[in-house]
Structure 1
Amino acid sequence: MHTDVLVIGGGNAALCAALTAAEAGARVLLLESAPRALRGGNSAHTRNLRCMHDAPQDVLVEAYPEEEFWQDLLKVTGGRTNEHLARLTIRASSTCRGWMRRHGVRFQPPLSGALHVARTNAFFMGGGKALVNAYYRSAERLGVQVRYEAPVQRLEIENGRFVAAWAGEERITARACVLAAGGFESNREWLREAWGQNARGEWPADQFLIRGTRFNQGVLLRHLLESHGAERIGDPTQAHMVAIDARAPLYDGGICTRIDCVSLGIVVNREAKRFYDEGEDFWPKRYAIWGRLVAQQPGQTAWSVIDAKAAGRFMPPVFPGVVADSLPALARALGLDEATFLQTVNDYNAACQGGRFDHTVLDDCHTQGLQPPKTHWARPLDTPPYTAYALRPGVTFTYLGLKTDDTAAVRFAGQPSDNLFVAGEMMAGNVLGQGYTAGVGMSIGTAFGRIAGAGAATAAGHATTVRDESEATA
């Protein structure tokens, strides 16, 4: 089979690429490895898009200027980011919603009491599944051919140019190709290889749960890196990794398995000891570091412990916690050493300094003389009943990927391909070297999906550009 533009992948970035190329008049074929009912990859589990804006706009309150967005990203990545590509993503996030609406995406009104995300993030009406469905409907109207259950195992590349893709026994040629097939988070063997064995003789990756799709096996990513020598970016152990309920399913648990009360209490490991500052920063900026922190603990397990004062202050998870009327009873119920647990809680309680508790700001409730400290929202655990949630690492997507530039081209030996492009999780490591802040994955996928789609259409002989579309009057 032959087409103008071949898009490999079926999530947000792939769909943005396919729609952009089709708008330019290109014939587009999209290959999704999942069956139709599970289409959309991790994008089906998303909720929002982080957006720069200089004044209040439709579903965004106040302002979130470029420099603040950049500083937020710089902080969570610890400087492990390409500033040029990061700022490209940031600027694109300010103008993409008009285009998204034209393709059927709807946004909901600003959320109240949502820890600042009403200022920074635009939420999809119906969540990521509704966004994915809207894009597929628009793709159908534009004539994009979609094949489900069509995983691609390998590519033919000559002198840095895409020639063909193999989906099973079928060879598909195209004038240009966009790779948007996700990371390798569902490939247990690759995770084991990346994380290795720790000093306790454990294989941490064996305890990881996958928050999203089971179909992100990293087959094409590894093929590009090992068989074709594509330039790589990122650390294979770095990922969007969240502390989720230990009872979550192996795949597709999504948002409802996240535990969001960490900043309202303390977190202890199997040794009944704290190991990190639970109140370091606002939860949307820090929630995605906790999976990695738990992965470094014995048994890759921990417990988030709160008292009655935290009730109603966080999004409740799908499973109830372990509840006890006393701290000793809670320790016994969790199987933790009672004396050590009580010592940990007593030391924490004694270190809490008085202040005005306010979970919507970086308040002055902190610990003193305690290691690790709790910088904000530190209140004694002294009001029964007490609740604990068991935590395990939940991997959303991995950051090892293909190096690219502002054209979204895949690079070989220092040279960008003129007809092979990459978007989404397969290149997110260019912007996210580590850490995460809520909604930025969708910002990256949307920006680079559209850039890759435009580049592929141009390479196929259909000139196009990614237009800025003001939201000022939307």
Structure 2
Amino acid sequence: MHDVLVIGGGNAALCAALMAREAGARVLLLEASPREWRGGNSQHTRNLRCMHDEPQDVLVDAYPEEEFWQDLLKVTGGNTNEELARLVIRASSTCRPWMRSHGVRFQPALPGTLHLSRTNAFFMGGGKALVNAYYRSAARLGVDIRYDSPVDALELRDGRFVAAVVKGERIEAKSCVLAAGGFESNREWLREAWGRNERGEWPADNFLIRGTRFNQGVLIRHMMSQGADIIGDPTQAHCVAIDARAPLYDGGIVTRVDAVSLGIMVNREGLRFYDEGEDFWPKRYAIWGRLVALQPAQIGFCIVDRQAIGRFMPPVFPGVKAATLPELAARLELPQQAFMDTLNRYNAACRVGRFDHTVLDDCRTEGLVPPKSHWARPIATPPFYGYALRPGITFTYLGLKTDARARVHFGGEPSENLFVAGEMMAGNVLGEGYTAGVGMSIGTAFGRIAGHEAAQAATQEARHALA
């Protein structure tokens, strides 16, 4: 029998497995996917948001705890557990040497990733390289790994983990870490959560999944049925506006279109619906998926002109290009009169000062609803470009309530040997909203905590058995 069972195969699960193994535990990791798709959503990531009080290798200047906390507080609207959030923030300042010891390499922020050189450490080779480095390290240290091993249920006794069931096989361990992701790939659950809107549509039918198809939420649903304490709103998620031509699963970060703050967004009726210049893009990009989900047919259109080209990360698919705005409306199949009225009102309302996309500049609209608070310039320089965007869900926030020791709770009481990390508990920190890189910060912090705690619990279990 193994000491620690880790269920999941992404960043949080791997951090847990490595920490438990370093503590001397015999570890088995169960990954639901085949080997070639291992890593869950982590394979699509790029960076980790890091607190630091002075320049550190690939990070410039300083990003102190209080600023990180205020950024998180703003994007979540206060819907966060401050104790756990600050735990994540502090852990983000010390985790990189440990990550390097397991083969992860870092590089400076990529061109086009505005403002992140100070706040985020980028993985050399991206999330796939990080995942592969962790798997190599796990194999070298003697962690047992099984692929194609989805866990269907857990055997629990008075809040204690006893065994997991995989395709009818019962697997025992002294302790367990749950790190199997959210439920974003479960279309029926998304439909159940979002329901029908006032137009009679099922919004979830038009959602794309940016990451793995294997996050079906089986264990979350199972833990709910077992009386585990749950946290989070099932409709809240890391939800980004992505290219409508993206694949249903695993499109990853390249399907994102980062041009919204440089232009305007309209719905299929040709109308604007939110302030595109509210704040810096890394802080606000993750609100746009939900905003688009609330529009007719769950589709929006990002409109920019030649002035924007070269100022945002080039997306994988080229935009629809036109020499005139009426031609662009026709090519995007938008109502031309409403579209032109929207553009004309926006252009007339622009009060252009000194445009600078690296600061909250003084280019704004006046007398326009909704306003554009920054980076507002008339869209009048051909050629013009349009990108059709749909909601792209990265991961859902409904999950298991936990504490600073990553313990699963039942009726307010913590389990002695069952722990949780990653997307299965991210809702404790992210009640809503998102800021770039914080998902990896949460997964790394709680993966390491859960692995350490699980190893300790396994040791205690062994001592009791000998007593």
Q: Is TM-score (shorter-chain normalized) higher than 0.5?
A: yes
Query: 2:409 & 2:334 partners in 1: Cα distance?
Result: 51
Displacement after TM superposition at 1:359 (Å): 0.4
**AA matched with 2:388:** A
Query: 1:76 & 1:175 partners in 2: Cα distance?
Result: 39
Q: Answer whether contact 1:302 1:391 (CA < 8 A) is retained.
A: yes
Displacement after TM superposition at 1:334 (Å): 1.1
Query: 1:401 & 1:408 partners in 2: Cα distance?
Result: 13
The worse-fitting range, judged by mean Cα deviation, of 102-111 and 286-295 is 102-111
For 1:437, what is the secondary structure of its paired residue?
coil
Residue number in structure 1 paired with 2:260 = 262
Judging changes above 3 Å, is the alpha-carbon distance between structure 1 residues 262 and 422 closer, same or farther for their aligned structure 2 residues?
same
Map 1:250-399 to 2 at 5 A: 250-399=248-397
Map 1:10-409 to 2 at 5 A: 10-111=9-110, 114-226=113-225, 228-409=226-407
Q: Answer whether contact 2:213 2:249 (CA < 8 A) is retained.
A: yes
Query: 1:240 & 1:354 partners in 2: Cα distance?
Result: 33
Task: Encode CA deviations 1:388-424: one digit per residue, 9 max, x unaligned.
Answer: 0000000000000000000000000110001000000
Displacement after TM superposition at 1:111 (Å): 3.9
**AA matched with 1:352:** C
Displacement after TM superposition at 1:110 (Å): 4.1
Query: 1:416 & 1:174 partners in 2: Cα distance?
Result: 18
Query: 1:282 & 1:301 partners in 2: Cα distance?
Result: 23
User: Structure 1: where are the runs of 5+ without partners?
Assistant: 464-474
Displacement after TM superposition at 1:462 (Å): 7.3
Q: Calculate the TM-score normalised by the size of structure 2.
A: 0.98
Query: 2:113 & 2:329 partners in 1: Cα distance?
Result: 32
Q: Answer whether contact 2:182 2:395 (CA < 8 A) is retained.
A: yes
For 1:222, what is the secondary structure of its paired residue?
helix
**AA matched with 1:277:** D
Query: 1:374 & 1:430 partners in 2: Cα distance?
Result: 32
Displacement after TM superposition at 1:333 (Å): 1.1
Residue number in structure 1 paired with 2:435 = 437
Displacement after TM superposition at 1:112 (Å): 5.1
Query: 2:352 & 2:292 partners in 1: Cα distance?
Result: 29
For 1:332, what is the secondary structure of its paired residue?
helix
**AA matched with 1:263:** S
Query: 1:109 & 1:393 partners in 2: Cα distance?
Result: 29
Query: 1:354 & 1:421 partners in 2: Cα distance?
Result: 53
Query: 1:414 & 1:293 partners in 2: Cα distance?
Result: 35
Query: 1:144 & 1:278 partners in 2: Cα distance?
Result: 47
For 2:106, what is the secondary structure of its paired residue?
coil
Task: Encode CA deviations 1:265-318: one digit per residue, 9 max, x unaligned.
Answer: 000001100000000000000000000000000000010000111011111111
Q: Answer whether contact 2:227 2:410 (CA < 8 A) is retained.
A: yes
Displacement after TM superposition at 1:335 (Å): 1.1
Task: Encode CA deviations 1:404-454: one digit per residue, 9 max, x unaligned.
Answer: 000000000110001000000000000000000000000000000000001
Query: 1:279 & 1:73 partners in 2: Cα distance?
Result: 19
Q: Answer whether contact 1:152 1:167 (CA < 8 A) is retained.
A: yes
Q: Answer whether contact 1:178 1:422 (CA < 8 A) is retained.
A: yes
Q: Answer whether contact 1:112 1:118 (CA < 8 A) is retained.
A: no
Displacement after TM superposition at 1:114 (Å): 2.9
RMSD: 0.9
Query: 1:141 & 1:335 partners in 2: Cα distance?
Result: 55
The worse-fitting range, judged by mean Cα deviation, of 315-324 and 15-24 is 315-324
**AA matched with 1:20:** M
**AA matched with 1:460:** A
Query: 2:178 & 2:264 partners in 1: Cα distance?
Result: 42
Displacement after TM superposition at 1:250 (Å): 0.2
Q: Calculate the TM-score normalised by the size of structure 1.
A: 0.96
Query: 1:174 & 1:339 partners in 2: Cα distance?
Result: 66
**AA matched with 1:120:** T
For 2:307, what is the secondary structure of its paired residue?
helix
Query: 2:165 & 2:302 partners in 1: Cα distance?
Result: 46
For 2:127, what is the secondary structure of its paired residue?
helix
Query: 2:69 & 2:120 partners in 1: Cα distance?
Result: 14
For 2:242, what is the secondary structure of its paired residue?
strand
Map 1:410-425 to 2 at 5 A: 410-425=408-423
**AA matched with 1:62:** D
**AA matched with 1:362:** L
Residue number in structure 2 paired with 1:470 = none
Query: 1:206 & 1:95 partners in 2: Cα distance?
Result: 41
Q: Answer whether contact 1:13 1:445 (CA < 8 A) is retained.
A: yes
**AA matched with 2:156:** I
Report how many aligned residue pairs link the two structures: 461
